[in-house]
Amino acid sequence: MTSVNTTEAELEPAGAPDTGVEAQVHALADRSRTAARRLARANRAWKDRALRQIAQNVNAKQAAILEANARDVAAGRDNGTSTAMLDRLSLTPARITALAAALENLAGLPDPVGSVARGQTLPNGLRLRQVHVPMGVVAAIYEARPNVTLDIAGLALKSGNAVLLRGGSAAANTNAVLVEIIRDSLEEAGLPADAVQSVDQYGREGANVLMKARGRVDVLIPRGGRSLIQSVVTNATVPVIETGEGNVHIYLDHSAPVEMAVDILLNAKTQRPSVCNTVETLLIHEGAPAAGDVLAALAAAGVRLHADPRAMELLPAGVSAEAADDGDWGREYMDLDLAVAVVDTLDDALEHIRRWTTGHTEAIITNDLANAERFIAEIDSAAVIVNASTRFTDGGELGLGAEVGISTQKMHARGPMGLRELTTTKWIIQGDGQIRD
Amino acid sequence: MTSVNTTEAELEPAGAPDTGVEAQVHALADRSRTAARRLARANRAWKDRALRQIAQNVNAKQAAILEANARDVAAGRDNGTSTAMLDRLSLTPARITALAAALENLAGLPDPVGSVARGQTLPNGLRLRQVHVPMGVVAAIYEARPNVTLDIAGLALKSGNAVLLRGGSAAANTNAVLVEIIRDSLEEAGLPADAVQSVDQYGREGANVLMKARGRVDVLIPRGGRSLIQSVVTNATVPVIETGEGNVHIYLDHSAPVEMAVDILLNAKTQRPSVCNTVETLLIHEGAPAAGDVLAALAAAGVRLHADPRAMELLPAGVSAEAADDGDWGREYMDLDLAVAVVDTLDDALEHIRRWTTGHTEAIITNDLANAERFIAEIDSAAVIVNASTRFTDGGELGLGAEVGISTQKMHARGPMGLRELTTTKWIIQGDGQIRD
């Protein structure tokens, strides 16, 4: 097999009647399916060899990656792209080394494929096993963050899936170089290059075709901001795993120990404000002794407070806040901002959370057992935390190995998704002539 | 709480600006959400008491159910409904007793809610559990089969979910009586009547609103034929679990023992031809010694064979067949019909199956270990069977207790779905002040 760059026109199968984008993306997806079949049978040693090969080649070709990335960043700057977006788009030698190291790390993790979920011998002698197998063809639609290209390709490969990538067009040059490196590495490792393909050359229309490719795409993972995810979820007819949005709440109970409350709030808000498991709203139980110290510590750490009228009254001397409105309760700041409200009861806190949560993570700080148990039972979010930082809703922290994303939906995967969540299961039933009565 | 029949106009919340179907169905869904919260906290004893109450009342009100059903059946007959559809629509005293018994049986099964999927104590002392919890609000869209009303309501209740039902309009009278019995029984058992609601009064438009009710409906289960399922899958923006279609294959290997092959084919085709796990295509390995006996036995059992030219040549004396075409390979007969083709190799069989399968169940009959293992590894269907009838792809047969349906998709649930598949999970993280470094 020779290396075929997916930007070449020859991808179109000879004699295809429709030369439109749909036919071309479908042809790519069919090649993914063929590659997926080989990948599903590749044992862990083959897949890990390929992951290490990609890591090695990414390090070796740092200069080419940086050159392509510099072109994307320059174009972005010319287009007036925001500093935050340019930062996510930019690669540095240190970032590239870290991405390669993450692939090496992935190679060290157990293979989710082949693990037996359940099994038994039935009364009639049938041997039954439910075994984890790859999904098949995974598609990913994401924003202009070239790290996602390596990340998703690695996770898909490790879990035995072929992947179709649609990255943000602002990262097109970087992604093209990365995909070429990945495909060359796959071939060097004896696996089909078509296990990783890009549809970037088809632009927005390519993404639309992926979203509707029922039967060709087994699962679609959008990664990015709210509008990207909502657009995918609304338009896709293939199964989607919704990830990411986190309007995270902490409820500060009357019984919360002061020092613990200060430590947890500071960590949950300031340790990495731009990620989805950072706290966005603090709900203070009326009269909670920890309130003053918590607000003072947050303000001292540079957190901008957005307070409701009752929270305004709790502000310590020298601490100011903006007036909060409904826009604040529903907002994922992803920055050093925090909405603060005072509630009379745990019920009021639960009601506020039910109204505004995105179902990602909520935490309670308390020393009251009954309140902790009610919070655990009644919060309907992917993660419910008692007396710890919300930053723990993370695949790595929870021991899941590598993280595909944080699912905020209820089907298939909820919360941090590890490699296992990129697999499905197959029932294997073995007999010696059993029939049904 | 007084019993409120969902057909009453008062369902519309006071002052709602939109009196259209969407607002009314959303109002019902919001009542389902409130009921779901109470149900999620109901322990098994409460739920089982309600299930037994429903069973008791269904038996006690047999006359009213039969009377309503007779009106539906008469209307169907007047409209020229097919005999098969009338049969599925019709209830008899025996069928009603069986439905009540199924609810009693459900009450005897373990509660999926609260079971711990995984858990550990992390190095930093955090106690981590992944616990099964109800989905919340389940919607079901199904055809004019009133048994599904009791079936889905019982499964949803046992798994702690509220359910919104949309049955076929041809069963509207029967379903209205059944839903009223269920709601009265829930109240008698101390659970909210709104745990089970019908949107039948809103017709097709009600179904459309359900399909788009993101955030209000957690999962939608279509039950019925191909066109219903395809319509739901294509139009829904809420998560869907696709069930049902089974274009099931059996591959008869050269090494297949003759008697075993005859027994399995007869069972897989004739034991209950109208269900999704019945075999629809037989692929015969060229020269397989069992072929003649198998075809003779099937013909003697009244099976109409649809054969390709090479299979025609294998027909024993006195056995005839129609010529098969692509329409046969893709067809789910659900009747005493079987497509038959001869293939040169296992690879050709795998290729045929890949082209035509719906991903439900495929089986191999063989005494060749290598062929069995290749078949298991390379078939990408919910169930792969070696040397047993395809009729075993069934929740009851596989020991899953009650069956919600057979999922033919890869996300969340694949193959027979039990009560567990009507739950999601929640991560519960308990600490004593842990923060992230």
Query: For residues A18 and B344, which has the higher predicted lDDT (pLDDT)?
Result: B344
Query: Least CB-CB distance to B428: which of A130, A257, A384?
Result: A384
Interface check for A77 against chain B (CB to CB < 8 A): the answer is: no
The band of B234, judged by pLDDT with boundaries at 50, 70 and 90, is confident
For residue B51, pLDDT beyond 90: yes
pLDDT in tens, B399-413: 888 888 899 999 999
In this predicted structure, what is the pLDDT of residue B13?
37
**What's the Cα-to-Cα distance from A139 to each of A32, A161, A167, A219, B347, rounded to whole Å?**
10, 10, 11, 6, 28
Q: Using CA atoms, how far apart are residues A299 and B55, in angstroms rounded to an integer?
A: 60
**What's the Cα-to-Cα distance from B7 to each of A44, A148, B25, B163, B180, rounded to whole Å?**
58, 51, 12, 16, 10
In this predicted structure, what is the pLDDT of residue A19?
59
In this predicted structure, what is the pLDDT of residue B413?
93
Q: Which residues of A touch B260 (CB under 8 A)?
A: 432-433
Decide if B427 and A382 are in contact by the 8 Å CB cutoff: yes
**Domain spanning A248-397, CATH class:** alpha beta
- A 82-141 → B contacts, CB under 8 A: 120, 122, 126, 128, 130, 133, 135-136
pLDDT in tens, A301-332: 999 999 999 999 999 999 999 999 989 999 99
Picking from A362, A371, A426 by the largest number of B CB atoms within 10 A of its own CB, the best residue to mutate is A426
Interface check for A335 against chain B (CB to CB < 8 A): the answer is: no
Q: Which amino acid is at B385?
A: I
Interface check for B399 against chain A (CB to CB < 8 A): the answer is: yes
Picking from A220, A269, A429, A437 by the largest number of B CB atoms within 10 A of its own CB, the best residue to mutate is A429
Decide if B388 and A435 are in contact by the 8 Å CB cutoff: yes
Query: Least CB-CB distance to B434: which of A383, A389, A411?
Result: A389
Residues near B285 by beta carbon (within 8 Å), at least 6 away in sequence: B251, B252, B253, B254, B256, B342, B343, B345, B346, B349
Decide if B133 and A409 are in contact by the 8 Å CB cutoff: no
- B 363-382 → A contacts, CB under 8 A: 372, 376-378, 380-382
Interface check for A263 against chain B (CB to CB < 8 A): the answer is: yes
Q: Please say whether the beta carbons of B292 and B316 come within 8 A.
A: yes
Nearest CA-CA partner of A36 in A203, A248, A186 = A186
pLDDT tens for chain A, 437 residues long, are: 333 333 323 333 334 334 599 999 999 999 999 999 999 999 999 999 999 999 999 999 999 999 999 999 999 999 999 888 898 899 999 999 999 999 999 999 999 999 999 999 999 999 999 999 999 999 999 998 999 999 999 999 999 999 999 999 999 999 999 999 999 999 999 999 999 999 999 999 999 999 999 989 999 999 888 888 888 988 898 989 888 789 999 999 999 999 999 999 999 999 999 889 999 999 999 999 999 999 999 999 999 999 999 999 999 999 999 999 989 999 999 899 999 999 999 999 999 999 999 999 999 999 999 999 999 999 999 999 999 999 999 998 998 888 888 999 999 999 999 899 999 999 999 999 999 99
Q: Using CA atoms, how far apart are residues B381 and B365, in angstroms rounded to an integer?
A: 17
Q: Which two tokens stand for residue B85?
A: 């559809």
Decide if B430 and A387 are in contact by the 8 Å CB cutoff: yes
* C-alpha Rg value of chain A to the nearest Å: 24
Q: Which amino acid is at A23?
A: A
Distance from CA of B155 to the nearest CA of A (A): 17
Q: Which residues of A touch B234 (CB under 8 A)?
A: 214, 237
- A 10 A CB-CB count for A7 gives 13
In this predicted structure, what is the pLDDT of residue A315?
96
List strand residue ranges (DSSP E) for B157-241, in order: 162-166, 196-198, 219-223
Distance from CA of B410 to the nearest CA of A (A): 6
Query: In chain B, what percentage of residues exceed pLDDT 70?
Result: 96
Give Cα A222 distance to the centre of its chain: 8
Q: Using CA atoms, how far apart are residues B115 and B44, in angstroms rounded to an integer?
A: 12
Decide if A399 and B430 are in contact by the 8 Å CB cutoff: no
Computed over every residue of chain B, the mean pLDDT equals: 93
Q: Count Cβ neighbours within 10 Å for each residue of B279-296 and write b for 16 or more, e otherwise.
A: bbbbbbbeebebbbebbb
In this predicted structure, what is the pLDDT of residue A92?
96
Bridge partners (DSSP) of residue A434 are B388
Decide if A389 and B267 are in contact by the 8 Å CB cutoff: no
CATH architecture of A19-235: 3-Layer(aba) Sandwich (3.40)
Decide if A388 and B40 are in contact by the 8 Å CB cutoff: no
- A 175-214 → B contacts, CB under 8 A: 214
Give Cα B94 distance to the centre of its chain: 22
Q: Using CA atoms, how far apart are residues A184 and A159, in angstroms rounded to an integer?
A: 19
In this predicted structure, what is the pLDDT of residue B399?
87
In this predicted structure, what is the pLDDT of residue B16?
39
pLDDT in tens, B148-199: 999 999 999 999 999 999 999 999 999 999 999 999 999 999 999 999 999 9
In this predicted structure, what is the pLDDT of residue B337?
97
For residue B275, pLDDT beyond 90: no
In this predicted structure, what is the pLDDT of residue B380?
95
- B 135-174 → A contacts, CB under 8 A: 135-136
Q: Using CA atoms, how far apart are residues A347 and A355, in angstroms rounded to an integer?
A: 12
ipTM here: 0.90
CATH architecture of B16-235: 3-Layer(aba) Sandwich (3.40)
pLDDT in tens, B126-144: 999 999 999 999 999 999 8
The band of B9, judged by pLDDT with boundaries at 50, 70 and 90, is very low
For residue B67, pLDDT beyond 50: yes
State the burial class of residue A226 (Cβ atoms within 10 Å of its Cβ: 0-12, 13-18, 19+).
exposed
**Residue carrying the six token digits 């502000």:** A315
Decide if B219 and A135 are in contact by the 8 Å CB cutoff: no
Domain ranges of chain B: 16-235, 248-397
- B 50-69 → A contacts, CB under 8 A: none
Decide if B410 and A135 are in contact by the 8 Å CB cutoff: yes
In this predicted structure, what is the pLDDT of residue B4?
32
Q: Which residues of A touch B301 (CB under 8 A)?
A: none
Distance from CA of A71 to the nearest CA of B (A): 35
Interface check for B432 against chain A (CB to CB < 8 A): the answer is: yes
The band of B108, judged by pLDDT with boundaries at 50, 70 and 90, is very high
For residue B8, pLDDT beyond 60: no
**Left (φ > 0), alpha (ψ -120 to 50) or beta: where does B128 sit?**
beta
Decide if A398 and B214 are in contact by the 8 Å CB cutoff: no
Phi, psi of B354 (to 5 degrees): -55, -35
